[in-house]
Structure 1
Amino acid sequence: MSIDFDELDVSFREAGGLVPFLVTMAGWVGFLTVKDETPSLGGTGQMMEGLPMTDVKFDDFFRTAQVLSGQPLDELGEVYETLVKNARGLDDGMENFQSACNNIFRNWRGDAQAACAAYGGKIMDFVNDEREAASTLASCLLSYAGIIKAARADWLKLAQNFVAALNQKQENDEASGWKVLLTVVGSLVGAAFSVVTAGVSLAASEAAIATAISFGSAVTAAVADGVTEAAKESLDGEKYQDIAYKYLRACREIESRLVNGINDEVVPKLQQLGESRPTPPSTPVDVGRFDDDPGKVLVPEHTPDNIDKWLAKKKKEADSRPPSNISSALG
């Protein structure tokens, strides 16, 4: 047995109340896969049932739980909330920016006004694109967290059904006179109990991700509906091995749906973000370059010696054209 139960997700370790569920499951899995070398009723029961299984190992029954452990959903929830908060803040910032542009350029006329208005519009477009990128990333985090959270609940339900089916099989055998006794004492289960309970923290919480999930309950529900089919499969069987194989097949289905869900809901959005990041507008030109091409953006970086003559020239040109409205230019 190489699995470290202390590294499994807290939702798995805390299931079951006073006697952790993993302890019960570890006892059954040990009966199925680990040969009991002691002259005990447990060893006799194994031989009568053609156990232990030789084509699967103890850890195989907890592989899905290992796959679904280690993802920091509480931290992802905090990042999600930060992204949403910042995206909303950008909306307010853009409103203030547009209002400031309207006030600054209200009395400007001609090409200078149009050029500055166009540049301000490019800045707004860039920031809006960045806001959309932040919203998309937040959506990716929410989808990923929802997929993991639903799959965790799914595996736990499946594992509980697995243990219940084994218990039912034992009860049926006993009722029919075929006595199969499972020994829950001994080095294997004792070691499993000490490992499982060592890392149990009743104070652990996923409050942050619970808050984040509440923003996307529709996404979470859709993912959960697709994944939980594996947990609904009947695990009844005439032999303990039949129950075990059904459980393992359902675990593979959960893992497959997990990968497909991430590939369908998360990966494409992340790839799109990486391939098409928003580009900020080019740096504005200085006065001399604007004089050569008034269609460019005017942001004087210094005051040339002939600025008064230049301004008089531009004013004369502007007076000969109808004024443009900065508000309409900014959109």
Structure 2
Amino acid sequence: MVGLSYSKRVAAAVCGTALVAVATACGTSNTSESGTSSGKLEVVATINAWGSIAAQLGGEKVHLTSIITSPDTDPHDYEPSPADARTVAEAKVFIENGVGYDAWAEKLLAANPGAGRTELNVGKQLGVPDDGNPHQWYSPDAVSRIVDVITADYAKADPADAAYFEDRKKTFENTTLAKYKGLVSEIKTKYAGTPVGASESIFSPLSDALGLNLITPQEFLKAISEGADPAPADKATIDQQIATKALKVYVFNSQNSTPDVQAQVDAAKRQGIPVTTVTETLAPAGATFQDWQSGQLQSLADALHTATGK
């Protein structure tokens, strides 16, 4: 939900006198030169998808705070608190998703300027347009590129530990993500071209990476993601796809369900079409990025196997 309706909700959360009060409250932070009283680099991520990656890349040299962590929270609708603003003010490295997904972050940064703070906007770094898909943590290629950027940002913020961060990156890419990368490769090899459906655009980057044929109308995916009403013609197309079993698997974002989406899930199940889920934040909240993603990929692989017999 990164369209106009979301922007209006966010504006109400962080504007006016409330934001001024937050800025004043954040002006007396007592941190060391490295960004925190513990001597570790203070790193803040707006969402825990990037936060988990950043924490693992930083290891014992960083203290990582993710602002949104609960699987029960829809990040599109999140309203930041004064405590969030204080956290942002203390950061030496700040990671936001961008592409309108966490628009409130820009307001907090502007209200709480930090000397020497390194700021990473993932969407801008990847060149995603303002109206593009914000869910880039579902793109393995994007993840790889952002891993490189976070490592470089750590080295910039803490040059003395640059070699340590580079070693962490190599381990993360070659060992930590091995199962995740293996599942991506396996699914692409076995199931490329398989027609699938989805409830919204969160699945699109992963579908592209896996070579699946996502046949749900793109405008429907975008509408649900942005909290808009989908066109009746698009809903009719999906109903027909499900009724004729034109799609093999339906992928459902369980953190963004609407009556239209729930009707599709129910219809798919009645037709015997396997339904698998994805989420926008780590599930469970304490999971690592790789365990969360690998679990979802394995569920998708199982659903594709059930549907195709491969």
TM normalised by structure 1 equals 0.28
The structure number with the bigger radius of gyration is 1
Kindly indicate whether structure 1 or structure 2 has the higher relative contact order, using CA contacts under 8 Å at least 6 residues apart. Answer: 1
Structure with more helix by fraction: 1
Structure with more strand by fraction: 2
